[in-house]
Amino acid sequence: MNYHLPAEVLMSIWLHPIDLESLNNFSQSTLLSHLGIIITNSGDDYLEGTMPVDDRTVQPYRLLHGGASCVLAESLGSIAASLCIDNKEFIAVGQHIEATHIRSATKGLVTGRARAIHLGRSSQIWRIEILNEDGKMICDSKLIMAIVKKK
């Protein structure tokens, strides 16, 4: 499936219903819960989540750690990818991530939004934009997911 269509033509990309509470419960006792990442919103073609800028996610200069931004981006893209495939037959695994850090964040929450660029049978590409509380982009990320058959 390749979804290079205008948003007004595109129906929902999800193969599974999105239950935010279940997604967040599934992430308990993982890196997501350790960093305070919460899945907060979804639409027909996106998944959103937040992460606090606090002692768990900053580097020694008290700025949001670039690696924490990558964790938020990869988490949102990975969860979104898994919602677009038949989980009885396939799993989605991260293959490549790149991130451009545009500005720093020092407090509050950052919000990531994952949107599919390409949904293929063996790979998916997701763009994840991370914004600060003022709505300014702090990180622009691209994630490539491999879709592999379960063993």
Catalytic annotation, residues: 74
Report the DSSP beta bridge partners of residue 39. 49
What token pair was written down for 97?
Answer: 């991530």
